[in-house]
Amino acid sequence: MADPLLAEFSELSHLSREDLEELLVDPVYFQAIFHSLNRVKALYQAQAELGSANETIAKNNLALQDALYTLRNDTQQAFDEAKSLEARWKEVEKEQKEVYQRFTPQFLLMRLRHATVAQDDISEARASEFVQASSAEPSPVAANSKDIDDFVREFKELRKVYHKRMMWGDRWAAGQVVWRDD
């Protein structure tokens, strides 16, 4: 058993049996011998080199710390701005959708139909006004021919707009209106 130990730790081969036994019972003697072993010296040397390397790395990291904090702050600001722009993008996209909604074929057809009904109401209201005004006068003959001409011209324009809108609506219903997306 002593042979493998001495083969493994050849530095101890010069010690006598009494020295080896003393080594086991005296911790100070053990420490002195232990620290004189080449393997232990090499281990401590490697540990010291690693510690020095770690210290160098730590100094480099500390030297980069301010730049990294600045970069982190810049990155955070860029990220916050990107999030803000993303939220704004959604708002603008919603606004755009609402604006485009007013120009969809379905919406335009609905507006045309409402405008047609409104135009019919306007022309009929104007005709009713004229009839009431004519019947309120003492003598229908007394109605000025200029007033009649003005009414006919105005009523004709109102009905012309109404009929144009009706024709456009009919064409649309017949599939003759094509909307391009360009």
Cα–Cα distances (Å) from 81 to 33, 73, 87, 96, in that order, read 66, 12, 10, 22
Range of the domain at 156: 104-174
For residues 177 and 171, is the Cβ–Cβ distance under 8 A?
Answer: yes
- Beta strands per DSSP E along 116-165: none
* pLDDT tens profile 46-104: 999 999 999 999 999 999 999 999 999 999 999 999 999 999 999 999 999 888 888 88
Q: How far apart are CA 126 and CA 91, in angstroms?
A: 45
Residues 67 and 33 in one domain: yes
For residue 78, being part of any structural domain is answered with yes
Quick one: 92 and 25 in the same domain?
Answer: yes
Q: Tell me, yes or no, whether 79 and 115 share the same domain.
A: no
Specify if 86 maps to a domain: yes
Number of domains in the chain: 2
For residue 166 the two structure tokens come to: 């009706």
Q: How confident is the model at residue 9 (pLDDT cuts 50, 70, 90)?
A: confident
Query: Pseudo-torsion of CA 34, 35, 36, 42, nearest 10°?
Result: 110
Determine the Cα–Cα distance for residues 179 and 108; give it in Å rounded to an integer. Answer: 11
Assess whether 47 and 90 both reside in one domain.
yes
Please compute the mean of the pLDDT values over residues 140-158 and round it to a whole number.
82
Distance from C-alpha of 5 to C-alpha of 37, rounded to nearest angstrom: 14
Asked if residues 35 and 42 have their Cβ atoms less than 8 Å apart, the reply is no
In terms of domains, do 88 and 144 share one? no
> How much is the average pLDDT of 139-168?
86
The Cα 130–Cα 77 span in angstroms is 70
pLDDT at 108: 87
Q: What is the mean pLDDT of residues 131-152?
A: 75
Task: Grade residue 141 by pLDDT with cuts at 50, 70 and 90.
Answer: low
